[in-house]
Chains A and B, each alone.
Chain A
Amino acid sequence: MATKVHMEALSPTMEEGQLVRWLKGEGDQVEEGDILAEVETDKATMELVARGSGLLRKQLLKEGGTAPVGAVIGVIAGPDEDIAAILKEAPAGAGEPTHAPPAERKVGAAAAGVAAADKTEQDRAATGVQAAAEAPARGPTPVPPGIEPRRAAGGGVEAARAVEPDGRVKASPLARRLAAETGVELRRVQGTGPGGRITKRDIEAALAAAPAPAAPAAPAAALVAAAPPPYRPELRPTAAMPELEEVPVSQMRKTIAKRLVTSIGPVPTFYLTIEVDAGRIVEARERVNERLAGRGEKTSINDFLIKAVAEALRRHPEVNSAWGENVIRRHGRVHIGVAVAVEDGLITPVVRDADRKGVAQIAREVRELAGRAREKKLAPDEYTGATFSISNLGMFGIEEFTAIINPPEAAILAVGQVEEKPVVADGQVVVRPRMRMTMSCDHRVVDGATGARFLQTLRDFLEEPTMMLA
């Protein structure tokens, strides 16, 4: 029976997927569970697996093409099975093969056999083994005898891929070890050895090409900071960040991850608590609200908090990250999950790109999302995809508490109420509005000092909101 290959929702928020590459060619035998293709979702490159067995009769989406979730992008069926009906319902552009037809592939395989026979080695003659019998039956790129596939030069022979149709990556043992040590993902490396084998030089090239951690921009002398707290140039938002950056996980970090997980569970969490003076943020909110009053709008301290957190995250992308076993996913966009208590539970609607929004807009969105959350009318993409979450129990009079991380996010901030407290300032005991916050951190991603630096920035922003403009 024919099996349709659908573009599947490979992430909770995925609406469409881009086909990065087919790992099975038309005419290839496919077993249920085989990896058919690599698909780029909104989050990562995922593997699309076969839901049935047979021949991959048709590829209905070109490499590089995009299809909505649910679209038929291929057909798996028996060799003689009639698949015309399925093809008819397929989208336009169907039927255009992305690869050479099967017949041509067979010619390639035969040619490879000749090549192998050519270089019969003396050993083989002695053992009586027919070299031709060892000719590889498969290969990503059919190669004429005597020509080794190399990196395409001037549109010549297309570079062979290190990933074989069965998903195996061709890499030298040394390259594999180096990749494991440096966190380079072999699948993403272009091999330049024979038949596309990945070798040491390819790993080195991949490491050299990897995006370097965002360097702090040069300090701008024109900006004069307000007196408290001092201006720290590294707090300027970094320039254009990629949508998603994958930072290789070092061996040290792997060891940290492995050891901490055995100690404390799948997300090894630690807590950092900080107390901030809320005087200026309360003041700022009042001033904003005065001006919004005419439009019938108002903001809460929490909206300012969301804004400040988002701005701080933009300056500390290492906290705006997620654990991905071999990589740390460093998000280029800042989506803040806001924990909302609902009947019999809680849910965290997401304020997307909170760093790019004003507090008034954040306030509107939060109110609207929270309202629908209580009515249980949120769409899945409204409560998934956050890169960081905030839980505020201040309105319940909670002074401080710890929150539990919502994986795969790397941290969550638990915020207590603003309360009047005696503090010492300039040798005098004065009463100030104070707010305590505790951040739970996934230690695999965020170390103590990393989290502390983030909280320092956050405190700067809350205690002197104009610093967000700096």
Chain B
Amino acid sequence: MAVMTYREALGQALAEEMERDPDVFLMGEEVGVYQGAYKVSKGLLDRFGELRVVDTPITELGFAGLGVGAAMVGLRPVIEFMTFNFSLLALDQVFNSAAKVRYMSGGQFKCPIVFRGPTGAALQLSAQHSQALESPYLHFPGLKLCTPATPADAKGLLKAAIRDDDPVVVMEGELLYALKGEVPEDRELLVPPGTAEVKRPGSDVSIITHGKMVHVALQAAAKLEQEEIDAEVLDLRWLRPLDIEAALATVYKTNRVVCVEEGWPYLGVGAQISTLIQEEAFDYLDAPVVRVTQADVPMPYSKNLEKLAKPSVERVIAACHKVLYR
């Protein structure tokens, strides 16, 4: 077990998979000479050469399409978007090609591609560069999507994504890259699709969340503990495919659910989770499911307004009180 940062864990996953499988390559803006906008690909150009660590022009639709084509003919590309905000330019290749080629070719082509990069807000990057885009990506069948919250999960999820034969979207967090944590040195550390993890067991209320918000939830749970409220934090890790059993198990256990996400409420992840719960576990609910999300507005640039718009520890605690009728 080694302690490393989230960005180092991602870099280790890339390096291990590129060593293991010569078909794996990394492509994106500034991934080579500059070693990645967030230094995830540090050292990879030197180790694997410019055929496998490919710097691209600022052409998201172009290099996403190159990646899909390469995947269709047998390579395993990892496409880095500097942030998922920029991936909006590439969505036709992601939604209409990557997500559909297996289906539309009747299984003749598979598309083992990874799209990765940070999602969600950092600090004062304003409306266009602070978006949590899980929800639009989740809307399209044909894509898998995971959201590592810890260095260990970053390694295990990215490695599982690279080895998957379908397109996988790996959404990281800009504010998570410097997060340190223990990471197993196991080269076979894989977090397979559809495996959630209870990050903190509890019995009074379930906070179901993913990605960066796992940490907000854990902080809220620690504060709730002082009030003798025992909150469980379930990190979904994979939003598609979803670990339905884990989501229902926590409902059976606590009967009260708060969904926390960085994105907007409308048709958000929490909307999907609460629908699932009312469909499958209605008789186990002792309170309506409550969601904590970003405010339903473009992210303000102003520091104080940005703070108010984001989900916070205080809002998670308030939501827990609400479902506990406190």
B266 & A177 in contact (Cβ 8 Å cutoff): no
A172 & B285 in contact (Cβ 8 Å cutoff): yes
Provide the bound-state CA to CA distance between A55 and B306, in Å. Answer: 53
A122 & B284 in contact (Cβ 8 Å cutoff): no
Of the listed stretches A192-200, A225-233, A434-442, chain B binds A192-200
Distance in angstroms from B300 CB to nearest chain A CB is 14
Contact among A123, A194, A200 with B255 in the assembled complex (CB-CB below 8 Å): A200
Provide the bound-state CA to CA distance between A125 and B295, in Å. Answer: 10
B296 & A122 in contact (Cβ 8 Å cutoff): yes
Provide the bound-state CA to CA distance between A358 and B282, in Å. Answer: 58
Contact among A121, A123, A173, A192 with B283 in the assembled complex (CB-CB below 8 Å): A173
- Is A7 interfacial (CB-CB < 8 Å)? no
Given contacts A174-B255, A200-B255, contact A122 B293 (CB under 8 A): yes
B277-306 with Cβ < 8 A to chain A = 282-287, 293, 295-297
Given contacts A122-B264, A122-B265, contact A177 B283 (CB under 8 A): yes
- Is A330 interfacial (CB-CB < 8 Å)? no
B325 & A194 in contact (Cβ 8 Å cutoff): yes
B286 & A200 in contact (Cβ 8 Å cutoff): yes
Contact among B283, B297, B325 with A176 in the assembled complex (CB-CB below 8 Å): B283
- Is A175 interfacial (CB-CB < 8 Å)? yes
A124-150 with Cβ < 8 A to chain B = 125-127
Residue of A nearest to B288 (CB): A172
Residues of A within 8 A of B266 (CB): 122-123, 126-127
Distance in angstroms from A200 CB to nearest chain B CB is 5
B296 & A125 in contact (Cβ 8 Å cutoff): yes
Provide the bound-state CA to CA distance between A127 and B271, in Å. Answer: 14
**Chain B CB within 10 Å, residue with most, of A176, A193, A194, A199:** A199
Residues of B within 8 A of A126 (CB): 265-266, 296
Residue of B nearest to A203 (CB): B286
B286 & A172 in contact (Cβ 8 Å cutoff): yes
**Chain A CB within 10 Å, residue with most, of B266, B286, B296, B297:** B286
Report how many residues on chain A are interfacial, defined by Cβ distance under 8 Å. Answer: 17
B296 & A199 in contact (Cβ 8 Å cutoff): no
Residues of A within 8 A of B283 (CB): 173-174, 176-177
Residue of B nearest to A127 (CB): B266
Provide the bound-state CA to CA distance between A425 and B211, in Å. Answer: 85
Provide the bound-state CA to CA distance between A122 and B263, in Å. Answer: 12
Residues of B within 8 A of A123 (CB): 265-266, 296
Distance in angstroms from B130 CB to nearest chain A CB is 16
Residues of A within 8 A of B286 (CB): 172-175, 199-200
A174 & B293 in contact (Cβ 8 Å cutoff): no
Residues of B within 8 A of A172 (CB): 285-287
Distance in angstroms from B311 CB to nearest chain A CB is 11
Residue of A nearest to B290 (CB): A121
Contact among B282, B287, B293, B295 with A193 in the assembled complex (CB-CB below 8 Å): B287
Provide the bound-state CA to CA distance between A18 and B267, in Å. Answer: 52
Provide the bound-state CA to CA distance between A125 and B297, in Å. Answer: 9
A122 & B285 in contact (Cβ 8 Å cutoff): no
Residues of A within 8 A of B325 (CB): 192-194, 199
Provide the bound-state CA to CA distance between A119 and B285, in Å. Answer: 22
Provide the bound-state CA to CA distance between A175 and B296, in Å. Answer: 33
Residue of A nearest to B297 (CB): A122
Distance in angstroms from B174 CB to nearest chain A CB is 23
Given contacts A122-B296, A126-B296, contact A173 B265 (CB under 8 A): no
Residues of A within 8 A of B296 (CB): 122-123, 125-126
Residues of B within 8 A of A194 (CB): 325
6 shortest A-B CB distances, which residue pairs? A122-B296, A174-B286, A177-B283, A172-B286, A200-B286, A173-B282
What are 28 A-B interface contacts by the 8 Å CB criterion? A121-B265, A122-B265, A122-B266, A122-B296, A123-B265, A123-B266, A125-B296, A126-B265, A126-B266, A126-B296, A127-B266, A172-B285, A172-B287, A173-B282, A173-B284, A173-B285, A173-B286, A174-B284, A174-B285, A175-B286, A177-B284, A192-B325, A193-B287, A194-B325, A199-B286, A199-B287, A199-B325, A200-B255
Q: Apart from A177-B284, A199-B287, A199-B325, what 5 extra A-B contacts exist at CB < 8 Å?
A: A122-B265, A126-B265, A172-B286, A173-B282, A194-B325
